[in-house]
Amino acid sequence: MSIETILTNAWVVTADAEFDGTVVVRDGCIVEVAPGRSHAPGAIDLDSDYLVPGLVELHTDNMEKHFAPRPGVKWPSLPAVMAHDTQISAAGITTVFDSLALGDVHGRSDRVQNRERMIEAVCIASDRSLTRAEHRIHLRCEITADDAVEAVDKWIDLPLVGLVSINDHTPGQRQFLDPEKLKQYYMGKYAMTEAQFDAFSYRATELHAKNAARHRGEIVARAQARALPIASHDDATREHVREAVQNGMTIAEFPTTLEAAEASCQAGLAVLVGAPNLVLGGSHSGNIAAIDLVRAGKADILSSDYVPASLIESIFKLPTSGAGISLPQAVRLASLNPARAVGLGDRGEIAPERRADLVRVRVLDGAPLVRTVWREGERVV
């Protein structure tokens, strides 16, 4: 038996327009998008709220904080995944790539010790259809780690793996251009003394020299053999981008300079920027501000990174930011563009024959509030 839902009196935001309209959903798929209101019996009146496509998140570390709510604390696995999923879906994200760190420049950190639990729990929750959002896995490969390749080999063939990224957080390599900013960040976040920071920096540099080039080549080869999309991370120079292109990468995550973002765009890489950076007006690392990349036309994808709610907030903030970007353009940054970047052609826009992943949003005192979320036509929030 066919199941039909009619959503009407909505301010519908498609890939290239916005209008007062109606969306008809049948059996989990959008079948009609039209201006005007429906008077069909049973049509759901959205009271002029916005209706946007379900958001697609390619890079979030959010799950880590649910597995380790405090340093050294190990929260039970399945409840941790479900708490993360609830937060993700309540933020309007219907497809999420949970970024799981395979290695850490800090060694055996909580994220490394919990990675197997996280991967197993996400797979169990997905297999049992427990989650509201659709979860996939983004393998974040810290190429300096001694066991980076071993970890990739252990998990790369899991059905949920849909994205691989190459990371190198060695001090002085990519993330921090200003050495003093780098020192302040590490000493502040990890309560290091200057001597401890110097010792950490020395050890990390040694690991980089030992492992980075070899591991990069081996991991890229494994991803290419499986036709998985590959992302670079924290590129700062044109040389970094040239290396990414040589490795067949198609996504540039969080470029730290305008130079790297421009080179990525010229090379055809989709540039991903942080939504928290947009909301807060700048980078906590002292790098290029995301809004400057948007204004320059050098941003293709938004990521909530460590704050799920920042994605919907930045979408509605951009049109009033003076960046010369419309609401449909802003919405594409968090829906259609990321979906296309990882080969998901069935979602990311409000259009016929697309999945009925939809989000109802009300703007109150300038703040966008997610009111209802549908995934494949089924209400999940």
Tell me, yes or no, whether 111 lies in a domain: yes
Three-state secondary-structure class, residue 25: strand
Is the residue at 182 inside a domain? yes
Reported as a single tens digit per residue, the pLDDT across 93-110 is 999 999 999 977 776 778
| CB 174 within 8 Å of CB 256 | yes
Residue (of 304, 285, 284, 282) closest to 293 by Cα position: 282
Which whole number is the average pLDDT over 314-330?
95
State the pLDDT confidence band at 196, using cuts at 50, 70 and 90: confident
DSSP 348: S
Report residue 218 as tokens: 């081996």
Task: Please report whether residue 167 resides in a domain.
Answer: yes
pLDDT of residue 285: 63
Boundaries of domain holding 65: 54-347
Domain-embedded: residue 173: yes
**What does the mean pLDDT of the chain come to?**
94
The residue type found at 297 is: G
57, pLDDT greater than 70: yes
pLDDT tens by residue, 70-90: 988 999 999 999 999 999 999
Asked if residue 302 is part of any domain, the answer here is yes
Q: Looking at this protein, which amino acid is placed at residue 29? A: C
pLDDT on residue 178: 64
Residue 286: per-residue pLDDT: 67
**Do 367 and 313 form a contact (C-beta atoms < 8 A)?**
yes
8 A C-beta contact, residue 316 and residue 329:
no
Q: Give a yes or no: residue 121 inside a domain.
A: yes
Q: Is 228 inside any structural domain?
A: yes
Backbone angles phi, psi at 86, to 5 degrees: -60, -45
Is 318 a member of any domain? yes
Domain count, the chain: 1
Residue 179 has pLDDT above 80, yes or no: no
Residue 187 sits in a domain whose CATH number is 3.20.20.140
